[in-house]
Amino acid sequence: MRARKTALMKWVDQKLAGDPVLRERVEAALNEMRIEQELASLRERRGVTQQQLAGLIGVSQPQIAKLESGKAKNLELRTLYRWATALGAKLTIGIEAGNGRRRARVAAG
């Protein structure tokens, strides 16, 4: 059975439908949260504490908590790889087609 949408969810859907930039930002934020939620869930399913995981990958427990809570910015692939392999998982990276718009390149300098 599918849950009915609340008035708030209907309002959010309306705002996202009417503002492609907002929709893109919300989707990016949700994607970031999904990674963190998947990592935390995997750790819990494996029966590993944050302290144990920290020891396995060579970081402090507060760093694990910060990553899982979404407060860490710019997660490095190396960190994700170490985290996944320490828990016996495989890291995969995918690319999805966007809205077809190309971004202008900015020269470094």
Q: How many structural domains does the chain have? A: 1
29, pLDDT greater than 90: no
In a domain, residue 77? The reply is yes
CATH number at residue 20: 1.10.260.40
In a domain, residue 99? The reply is no
In a domain, residue 2? The reply is no
Q: Give the separation between CA 56 and CA 42, rounded to whole angstroms.
A: 15
| pLDDT value, residue 53 | 96
| pLDDT value, residue 99 | 67
Task: Give the phi and the psi of residue 25 in degrees, each rounded to 5.
Answer: -65, -40
Tokens of 96: 């999805």
- Domain span including residue 71: 7-86
In a domain, residue 94? The reply is no
| Nearest partner of 31 among 100, 94, 106, 101, judged by Cα | 94
What sign has the CA pseudo-torsion 42, 46, 47, 53?
negative
Higher-scoring residue by pLDDT: 15, 104: 15
In a domain, residue 96? The reply is no
Q: Give the separation between CA 62 and CA 77, rounded to whole angstroms.
A: 19
